[in-house]
Amino acid sequence: MVNGHPPRPERKIIHIDMDAFYASVEQHDNPALKGLPVIVGGDPSRRGVVSAASYEARAFGVHSAMPSSQARRLCPNGIFLPVRMHRYREVSDRIFRILREYTPLVEPLSLDESFLDVTGSEKLFGPALQIAREIKRRIRENTDLTASAGIAPNKFLAKIASDYRKPDGLVEIKPEEVRNFLRDLPIAKLWGVGKSTEEILKGMGILKTGQLAAFPAEKIEKKLGNFGLELTALARGEDDRAVQPESGAKSISQEETFTPDLENLEQMKKVLLDQAEQVGWELRKQKLKGSTVTVKVRYPDFTLVTRSFTLPSPTDQGIEIYRTAMKLLPRTEALQRRARLLGVGISNLFHRDDPEQYRLFDSGRKKVEGSVQAMDRIWEKFGPEAIKRATLMEKNLTAELAEHAEAGMAKGSWPRGQAKKRRTERKKDFDFPK
């Protein structure tokens, strides 16, 4: 016993992350693309950004978050494909179903990534290493895709371990190996260390986590405050955070980063319409409706704002989400300051078949829903481009829904503290910085 505390039981955490996820799904769905440089993301001629690059494309230096135009210069023979979010979600659902068979303690970080606490599962399924191996095998059998897995006594180390031998990696860091493992790891691999923190630490002569672990904590605290102490703990392999299971989707959203920034209303309208339609499509596919619409803007100086509005009755209609987003946009400074990132999402979700909620819908809305169901069938047949044109031509429908949105604005309420809540919620959607 140290300081009167009983020793903590050793935990077994697995981190699973799919390899080149979106690109691998595309290669799976069209086997002719296997072995080729596949780049999934925004259109190179429309200021798009790369979402995912197959390992073949990475050999040319292409990576996520790079402008697609740059990717095309680096890899002129690359095969550029649009993002098909609904398809990646389908595959992701199948993966998560497998994961939940081994423990209820599954914390999703993004569509392709999660933590599992299997401390209590070892009695049933064998050692954590064996569980991870089996999960990888079953994912491969079930989806024909490869995952990388890391096993460690905490989340931070498990995440580092899964990244260590990508693709198709399987790495365990045992408690007695932690020190050795961290000795030569670059400090940029620590959670939360971005360019500026990296520079500060380098200025102190600290390049590797081993050096940070050995550095007097007070000196780090002087430079970086509490955050410095947290980093020092990580560098020493200490991370007590629990795996936090999450049940069901809390929000559905779309967002995109642009280079150069979006600078005028026309561009922003197009993007928001596109995104709102995708969100609506996703809601209807999952038989969900949502009532709080949120617009998210990142300005060129990287500050992030969100603005939300709660409709009086929930919706799954892209055009209604779009109209609401257009009312929210002027509550940001996107037009004055430009937008590096623009996104729209919906939260407060419930299942469409919930009778309690369905009462809320009036007959006018049902008529509109009929037209949209027809449009969904067009989408299924001809893809999002066709539906976008159809929506833009549907003047009557737009006008009708505009009325609904207008009425919603008048009767709805602005949720307090929404922006703050959203930010914490978003955190779960994002990957940790590498």
Enumerate the active-site residues. Answer: 113
Phi, psi of 268 (to 5 degrees): -65, -40
Residue 73, token pair as written in the block: 């210069």
> Which one among 17, 117, 277, 320 touches Mg ion, defined by CB under 5 A?
17
- Which sign, positive or negative, has the C-alpha torsion 231, 232, 236, 242? negative
Site for Mg ion in 333-362 (CB under 5 A): none
Q: Is 431 in the site for ligand TTP (CB under 6 A)?
A: yes
Cβ pair 244, 107 in contact under 8 A: yes
Does position 86 interact with ligand TTP (CB under 6 A)? The reply is no
- Residue whose tokens read 């371990």: 161
Tell me how far, at minimum, the Cβ of 199 lies from ligand TTP, in Å. 22
**394 makes contact with ligand TTP (CB under 6 A):** no
Smallest distance from the beta carbon of 146 to Mg ion, in angstroms? Answer: 10
Kindly state whether residue 18 participates in binding Mg ion, applying the rule CB under 5 A.
yes
**Residues in region 217-236 near Mg ion by CB under 5 A:** none
**Contact letters for ligand TTP, residues 29-58 (x by CB under 6 A):** ----------------------xx------
Count, residues in the chain: 434
Please say whether the beta carbons of 341 and 245 come within 8 A: no
Cα 131 to chain center, whole Å?
A: 25
Nearest residue to 290 (alpha-carbon basis) of 256, 257, 324: 324
Residue 113 touching Mg ion (CB under 5 A): yes
Least distance CB 396 / ligand TTP (angstroms): 35
* Distance separating alpha carbons of residues 179 and 185, to the nearest angstrom: 11
Q: Kindly tell me which of 64 and 357 has the beta carbon lying closer to ligand TTP.
A: 64
Tell me whether residue 18 or residue 252 sits nearer to ligand TTP (CB atom).
Answer: 18
Q: What is the C-alpha to C-alpha distance for residues 320 and 285, in angstroms, rounded to an integer?
A: 17
The answer to whether 115 contacts ligand TTP (rule: CB under 6 A) is no
Q: Which residue has the tokens 């949209």?
A: 372
Among 30, 45, 65, 104, binds ligand TTP (CB under 6 A): 65
Cβ of residue 119: shortest distance to ligand TTP, in angstroms?
Answer: 25
Asked if 265 touches ligand TTP (CB under 6 A), the answer is no
Among all chains, which residue has been given the structure tokens 């929210």? Answer: 328
Residue type at 171 in one-letter notation:
V
Among 18, 62, 105, 372, binds ligand TTP (CB under 6 A): 18
Is the Cβ–Cβ distance between 340 and 298 less than 8 Å? Answer: yes
CB of 208 to Mg ion, least distance (A): 24
| Binding-site member from 36, 60, 64, 230 for ligand TTP (CB under 6 A) | 64
Tokens 């798009």, residue located: 48
Give, in order, the Cα–Cα distances in Å from 324 to each of 42, 330, 365, 411.
Answer: 24, 11, 16, 13
Taking the least distance from each CB to ligand TTP, the nearer of 19 and 394 is 19
**Interface characters, 124-143, with ligand TTP (x: CB under 6 A):** --------------------
The interface partner of residue 52, options being ligand TTP, Mg ion, none and the CB cut-off 5 to 8 Å by kind, is ligand TTP
Would you put residue 289 in left (φ > 0), alpha (ψ -120 to 50) or beta?
beta
Nearest of 169, 175, 172 to residue 158 by alpha carbon:
172
Is residue 276 at the binding interface for ligand TTP, with CB under 6 A as the rule? no
Q: Which residue is nearest to Mg ion (CB)?
A: 113
Q: Which of 16, 20, 128, 213 binds ligand TTP (CB under 6 A)?
A: 20
Structure tokens at 124: 């049933």
167 binds, among ligand TTP, Mg ion, none (CB under 5 to 8 A by kind): ligand TTP
Q: Which does 51 bind (CB under 5 to 8 A by kind): ligand TTP, Mg ion, none?
A: ligand TTP
Matching residue, tokens 């991370």: 239
- 319 class by beta-carbon count within 10 Å (0-12 exposed, 13-18 middle, 19+ buried): buried
Inter-residue contact 39 to 53 (CB < 8 Å): yes
**Contact residues: ligand TTP, CB under 6 A:** 17-22, 51-52, 64-65, 110, 112-113, 166-167, 431
